[in-house]
């Protein structure tokens, strides 16, 4: 870990100003990922801007929107009554992530900003285009069991590790960010990026912008939901594949449905074609199989992650069935 300076601004403006003055700086909230990155020499900020003093810890209902402050802790969010009753999918996804200790430290904004867990990214003596552009992708010819099957590029096949973000992508959330030029809103599914030719960029947040909140619109997905996470260890393990499903069923017809996957792409992976195929259909195993088949079209696998295509196919059906019968 390199020596760094540390400031703890009291206002949003002061935090953004501090970042504008020093582009090697990083915001820190829970630090559950940033400290790892710093210890491994992956990120070498000369300044840390601690944002824990900022008033971004509120969870409130604003008309048809649930407003979640960026500094809300993952464990508090998962346990919040409004989340449990109105957005149970988010609660389930949060509780599937990390460990209790990490959830007690990790914030909503930090969770979105966490970087991939690709080993090549963390080992500075191995190549990684995300860490060091043009050094090559260690994973493509290396160990890639945990890596992407959708939306990857020849530069990077890393996956986004979050569970929370998969649920937020499914729930059509919006990200609120603040920067020197004021505030702006980013649809959640546009927040994270695919690697393309710029794998060093995880998301569309500008360097001196700060996430202030996430908003979730009111929706009917309170009953038929499922967050299925398949992993190598029962807790504290990243997803091999995860599936978030939320649906609204009446008269044995799927009126509305959201499906997203984790562990398969550089960003939370929404499945619009599968959603479309199921909308207006009966919640049957046959229809779920058809949807799963649509979902895995275009999957590209590598030496060690071929199983993910089959696992995705199975897991989507299992999650759909579980949500439908919930």
Query: How crowded is residue 132: how many other Cβ atoms within 10 Å of its Cβ?
Result: 13
Q: Select 158 or 186, whichever has its Cβ closest to another protein.
A: 158
- Long-range contacts (CB closer than 8 Å, 24 or more residues apart) made by 303-310: 303/141, 303/144, 304/143, 304/144, 304/145, 304/147, 305/144, 305/145, 305/146, 305/147, 305/148, 305/149, 307/240, 308/149, 308/240, 308/241, 308/263, 308/264, 309/149
- Name the burial class of residue 40, with classes exposed (0-12), middle (13-18) and buried (19+) by CB atoms within 10 angstroms of its CB: middle
Name the minimum Å distance from CB 31 to another protein.
15
Name the minimum Å distance from CB 289 to another protein.
7
Q: Select 10 or 24, whichever has its Cβ closest to another protein.
A: 24
Residues of this chain that bind another protein (CB under 8 A): 1-3, 41, 99, 117, 119-120, 123, 125-126, 138, 141-143, 145, 228, 230-238, 240, 289, 307, 310-311, 313-315, 317-318
Q: Select 1 or 20, whichever has its Cβ closest to another protein.
A: 1
Name the minimum Å distance from CB 78 to another protein.
16
Q: Select 53 or 325, whichever has its Cβ closest to another protein.
A: 325
- 256/61 Cα distance (integer angstroms): 23
Q: Select 41 or 220, whichever has its Cβ closest to another protein.
A: 41
Query: How crowded is residue 288: how many other Cβ atoms within 10 Å of its Cβ?
Result: 24
Name the minimum Å distance from CB 73 to another protein.
20
* Six-digit token string for 325: 């019968």
Residue 46 near residue 4, CB atoms below 8 Å: yes
Neighbouring residues of 196: CB distance < 8 A, sequence distance ≥ 6: 153, 155
Name the minimum Å distance from CB 116 to another protein.
12
Name the minimum Å distance from CB 155 to another protein.
18
Q: Select 155 or 317, whichever has its Cβ closest to another protein.
A: 317
Name the minimum Å distance from CB 141 to another protein.
7
Which secondary structure element, helix H or strand E, spans residue 57, and what is its range? none
Q: Select 33 or 174, whichever has its Cβ closest to another protein.
A: 33
Buried b (16+ CB within 10 A) or exposed e, 197-234: eebebbbebeebbbbbbbbbeebebeebbbbbbbeeee
């Amino acid at each position: 870990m390199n020596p760094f300076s540390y400031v703890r601004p009291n206002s949003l403006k002061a935090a953004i100003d501090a970042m504008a003055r020093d582009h090697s700086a990083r915001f820190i909230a829970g630090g559950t990922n940033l400290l790892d990155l710093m210890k491994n020499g992956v990120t070498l900020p000369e300044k840390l801007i601690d944002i824990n003093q900022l008033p971004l810890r509120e969870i409130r209902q604003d008309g048809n929107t649930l407003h979640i402050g960026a500094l809300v802790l993952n464990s508090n969010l998962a346990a919040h009554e409004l989340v449990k009753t109105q957005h149970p999918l988010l609660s389930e996804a949060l509780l599937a992530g990390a460990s209790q200790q990490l959830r007690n430290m990790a914030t909503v904004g930090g969770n979105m900003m966490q970087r991939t867990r690709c080993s090549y990214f963390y080992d500075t003596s191995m190549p990684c285009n995300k860490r060091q552009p043009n050094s090559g992708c260690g994973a493509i010819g290396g160990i890639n069991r945990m890596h992407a099957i959708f939306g990857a590029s020849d530069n990077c096949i890393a996956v986004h590790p979050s569970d929370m973000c998969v649920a937020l992508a499914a729930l059509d959330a919006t990200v609120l960010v603040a920067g020197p030029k004021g505030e702006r809103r980013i649809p959640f599914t546009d927040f994270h990026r695919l690697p393309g030719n710029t794998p060093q960029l995880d998301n569309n947040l500008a360097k001196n912008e700060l996430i202030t909140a996430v908003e979730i619109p009111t929706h009917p997905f309170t009953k038929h939901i499922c967050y299925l996470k398949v992993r190598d260890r029962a807790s504290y393990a990243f997803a091999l594949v995860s599936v978030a499903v939320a649906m609204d069923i009446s008269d044995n017809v799927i009126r509305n449905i959201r499906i997203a996957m984790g562990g398969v792409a550089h960003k939370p992976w929404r499945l619009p074609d599968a959603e479309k195929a199921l909308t207006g259909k009966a919640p049957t195993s046959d229809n779920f199989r058809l949807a799963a088949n649509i979902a895995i079209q275009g999957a590209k696998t590598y030496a060690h992650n071929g199983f993910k295509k089959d696992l995705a196919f199975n897991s989507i059906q299992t999650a759909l069935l579980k949500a439908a019968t919930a």
